[in-house]
Amino acid sequence: MIANFSISCVHIFIVLYILAIEVKYGLAGHGEFRRDYTYTPEAKGWIKFHRVPAPWLEARLKCYYEGAVLMSPVNEQLYAVMRNLMLSRADASFTGVQSLTSTGDYISIEGINLLQMPIQWAKGEPDNLNDTERCLAILPDGSISDTKCEQVRTYMCYKEKTGDETITECGTSDKEYTLDNRTGSCYKFHPDCVTWWRAHMACSSEGGYLVIINSEFEAKLLNERYATKKIKCHELRFIHVGFLNPYSDRAYWFTVDGKRLEDAGYDRWAQNEPNNVAGTENCGSLLRNNEGFNDWPCNDYLPFVCEIPIHNRKN
Ligand SMILES: [Ca+2]
Ligand SMILES: [Ca+2]
Ligand SMILES: [Ca+2]
């Protein structure tokens, strides 16, 4: 009995000791960056394998919007992790290494020169076939080859653990999202001037959506928060918001979560809008002076706001 009790005490002590070590060294917090990323101790960070192929430039941007970088074999450890991930693959995946700006001068997203990387070339590579191959891919056997950046390939995004990845009340480690308790949503203003499509991609990648206005209150809130934010776009009057009209007959405006605009809770158009100037205005924008919606070309460059809903909508 005493022996059993002693063993139990020893077990409890060991468990507590391990827990203490985990808390001290942050081992318990591995899942804290993003739910769609997996912590990999050998990589000292989180990795997401993107199975939906994309051209290199899109892949780089996708990782960036996710708060990560397009992964490269910048050291032995990361190269080993990447080779391991490729074992079950049938086709090559992009790495973050490219020579887009200078033929043959390869550099990773982190700015590390290929000469510093411990890679093994595939047979006959690099060959810059027809002077068209500026991006490096890793093959299922772990070797590296140069390949067309425009081709679509799978890829890996990598986030190095820095200890600053705490998830906020907005459910993200992105500190630029701030909660408004009155609407129950978190918002992030992007001053970048991008197309509606790019804004939509950025918000989705960040774990939210291009803002959907659900009330007069929310429209007013956005204008109060962001009307005076400095932007460098050629067009200063509007921001992209989350609705569009994808049909040529312009009969239907849909929010990015698939509902009819009039069912979202706010569908006030500014005076004389929507006016579909030159038949090109298929995307939603909000006037920054709180006058309501405007239809605007999807391919025009505007700033935008992303939304992550946290609580049930109150306003
Ligand atoms: Ca090649
Ligand atoms: Ca909303
Ligand atoms: Ca318009």
The pLDDT of residue 312: 62
**Ligand 2 center to 289 CA (angstroms):** 18
* Ligand having the closest approach to the CA of 149: 1
* Ligand having the closest approach to the CA of 130: 1
Averaged over 51-59, what is the pLDDT? 98
Range(s) within the chain of domains with CATH label 3.10.100.10: 30-160, 178-309
Give the span between the Cα atoms of 42 and 61, in whole angstroms.
Answer: 25
Quote the strand ranges of 20-105, DSSP E: 38-40, 45-54, 69-70, 93-98
Residue 172: which of 200, 214, 204 has the closest Cα? 204
Q: Please give the CATH architecture assigned to the domain spanning 178-309.
A: Roll (3.10)
**Ligand 2 center to 307 CA (angstroms):** 7
Run of H or E including 185 = strand 185-194
- Compute CA distances 168 → 26, 31, 62, 93, whole Å: 17, 13, 22, 32
Local confidence band at 245 (pLDDT 50, 70, 90 cut-offs):
very high
**Ligand 1 center to 123 CA (angstroms):** 10
The pLDDT of residue 307: 98
The pLDDT of residue 125: 96
Averaged over 237-257, what is the pLDDT? 92
Indicate if the pLDDT at residue 18 is higher than 50.
no
* Ligand having the closest approach to the CA of 245: 3
**Ligand 1 center to 127 CA (angstroms):** 5
* Ligand having the closest approach to the CA of 212: 2
* Ligand having the closest approach to the CA of 145: 1
Indicate if the pLDDT at residue 3 is higher than 90.
no
* Ligand having the closest approach to the CA of 270: 3
Indicate if the pLDDT at residue 112 is higher than 90.
yes
**Ligand 2 center to 179 CA (angstroms):** 12
Q: Positive or negative, the Cα torsion across 162, 109, 115, 80?
A: positive
* CA 145 and chain centroid, separation: 27
The pLDDT of residue 30: 53
Run of H or E including 286 = strand 283-287
Indicate if the pLDDT at residue 192 is higher than 70.
yes
* Ligand having the closest approach to the CA of 296: 3
Give the span between the Cα atoms of 310 and 262, in whole angstroms.
Answer: 22
Q: Environment class of residue 311 by beta-carbon count within 10 Å: exposed (0-12), middle (13-18) or buried (19+)? A: exposed
Local confidence band at 37 (pLDDT 50, 70, 90 cut-offs):
very high
| Average confidence score pLDDT of the chain | 89
Q: Please give the CATH architecture assigned to the domain spanning 30-160.
A: Roll (3.10)
**Ligand 1 center to 276 CA (angstroms):** 47
**Ligand 1 center to 144 CA (angstroms):** 9
